[in-house]
Chain A
Amino acid sequence: MKPLASHFRAAFTLLEVALAVMIIGLTSIGVFGFVKSTLRGVSASVEDVEMQLEVERVVELVQEELYSLPARGQAMLTGKFFKNGDTNFDSMEWRSRGGSGLLTTAATGEYRVQIRIQPLKDDESKYEIGFWRRPALLDTAGGLVQGGSDKDETWVPLIKGAKSLTLRYWEPRLGQLVNQWQDQSSRPTFVVIGIEREGDENPYEAWLAVPSAQTQQQ
């Protein structure tokens, strides 16, 4: 005969264990989903910050170049449409002698540098923003001489997945923004640059001062 006590020390039934495992399983799935979505959120946030920094860095580069523009000189800054196929894109061109504008300190002479947007070579439905560089003055033993051609042009892609680049120039004589800047002897007071990337809600917009314009007007 079995002792009575062994009947009372009943273990969990299979149903109870199965139920407990199911509850733990469901809770684990819930917690895993939460952790996964949090990690995805963090990753999206980091990606967004990186993209933002990329755009900000390019804008700062342009600002540095605008700060470095000399007060005197012809065609130091121009803004015109850059034609690619049937489409016109905004572009801005300035003169640079190495450093941030050329993204190298090794270059000698003077270069024409343009910020512009253009389609990718291997996929024309996608665009990138970058600097186009072309020698304008060559550094020779006798000093700087006119030279260089479009054959020597180079392209530095800076922002992938770009959607649009807008450039507007403040014309102080009209008191309004204009789409192009073709006056070779003067400078706009400031330049408004707008960069939009794929997936952006709003374009990144920055108002960049051109200090040499103030000097010219005084």
Chain B
Amino acid sequence: MKIFSLRRGFLLLEAMLAVAIFALAMLALARCVQNCLQAEKFRRTEGLAQRALANYFVQVESGSIPLTDKATEELKGAYAGMTMVMTKTDLKLTNEKDQEIFGLFDVNLALSWVESGDTITRSMKFILYPRQK
């Protein structure tokens, strides 16, 4: 009779521990996959944002978008969900003769969008001398 009692199986606690370790490993793997997918999505959105900023810069530089103190625009098409905020400040610069240089502006483009609940902003700053009409 004693022989049978010694051939015991796993305890419930041991089995639960094994299952818990396995579940943790699976969770870590799932997290890994999720991170990979998120990184890929982030890379795409970053590329899109850079293009949106570059395209907007060309439009501002060429004068097709009028330069104002502050303008906000909801972008459309491939850039849907992104908001562009343009701000302009006068640049107070002087030349080598200490004369004031007029007509130069410091322009800031700030593009923001919401990703996974967080607002992400990318910006671009440049000096502009608007085309005289």
- Contacting pair B33 A37 (CB below 8 A): yes
State whether the Cβ of A137 lies closer than 8 Å to any Cβ in chain B.
no
Report the interface size class on chain A.
Answer: 20 to 34
Bound state CA distance, A41 and B41, in angstroms?
12
Task: Pick the interface stretch among B55-63, B84-92, B105-113.
Answer: B55-63
Chain B residues closer than 8 Å to A217, beta-carbon distance: 131
Chain A residues closer than 8 Å to B116, beta-carbon distance: none
Give the nearest-CB partner of B133 in chain A. A217
Bound state CA distance, A209 and B3, in angstroms?
90
- Contacting pair A190 B64 (CB below 8 A): yes
Interface majority SS (helix, strand, loop, mixed), chain B = helix
Chain B residues closer than 8 Å to A34, beta-carbon distance: 29, 33
Bound state CA distance, A204 and B55, in angstroms?
11
Chain A residues closer than 8 Å to B77, beta-carbon distance: 202, 205
State whether the Cβ of A218 lies closer than 8 Å to any Cβ in chain B.
yes
State whether the Cβ of A182 lies closer than 8 Å to any Cβ in chain B.
no
- Contacting pair A170 B47 (CB below 8 A): no
**Interface residue count on the B side (C-beta < 8 Å):** 25
- Contacting pair A207 B131 (CB below 8 A): no
State whether the Cβ of A45 lies closer than 8 Å to any Cβ in chain B.
yes
State whether the Cβ of B71 lies closer than 8 Å to any Cβ in chain A.
no
Chain B residues closer than 8 Å to A172, beta-carbon distance: 62-64
Bound state CA distance, A42 and B55, in angstroms?
29
Bound state CA distance, A49 and B47, in angstroms?
10
- Contacting pair A209 B58 (CB below 8 A): yes
Bound state CA distance, A38 and B51, in angstroms?
28
Those of B18-59 within 8 Å (CB) of chain A? 22, 29, 32-33, 36-37, 40, 43, 47, 51, 54-55, 58-59
- Contacting pair B6 A8 (CB below 8 A): yes
Determine how close the nearest CB of chain B comes to the CB of A146; give it in whole angstroms: 33
Bound state CA distance, A218 and B131, in angstroms?
8
Bound state CA distance, A49 and B46, in angstroms?
13
Find B62's partner among A38, A49, A190, A204 (CB 8 Å cutoff). Answer: A190
Determine how close the nearest CB of chain A comes to the CB of B120; give it in whole angstroms: 19
Determine how close the nearest CB of chain A comes to the CB of B62; give it in whole angstroms: 4
Bound state CA distance, A217 and B64, in angstroms?
14
Those of B97-111 within 8 Å (CB) of chain A? none
Give the nearest-CB partner of A171 in chain B. B64
Bound state CA distance, A8 and B101, in angstroms?
98
Chain B residues closer than 8 Å to A88, beta-carbon distance: none
Given A8-B6, A190-B59: A205 in contact with B51 (beta carbons within 8 A): yes
Determine how close the nearest CB of chain B comes to the CB of A115; give it in whole angstroms: 18
Supplied contacts A209-B61, A218-B131, 20 more A-B pairs, CB within 8 Å: A27-B22, A34-B29, A34-B33, A37-B33, A45-B40, A45-B43, A49-B43, A52-B47, A170-B64, A172-B63, A175-B64, A189-B62, A189-B63, A203-B78, A205-B55, A206-B51, A206-B54, A207-B54, A207-B55, A207-B58
Q: Can you report 9 residue pairs joining A to B where beta carbons are below 8 Å apart?
A: A38-B36, A52-B47, A170-B62, A172-B63, A201-B78, A202-B78, A204-B51, A205-B77, A214-B131
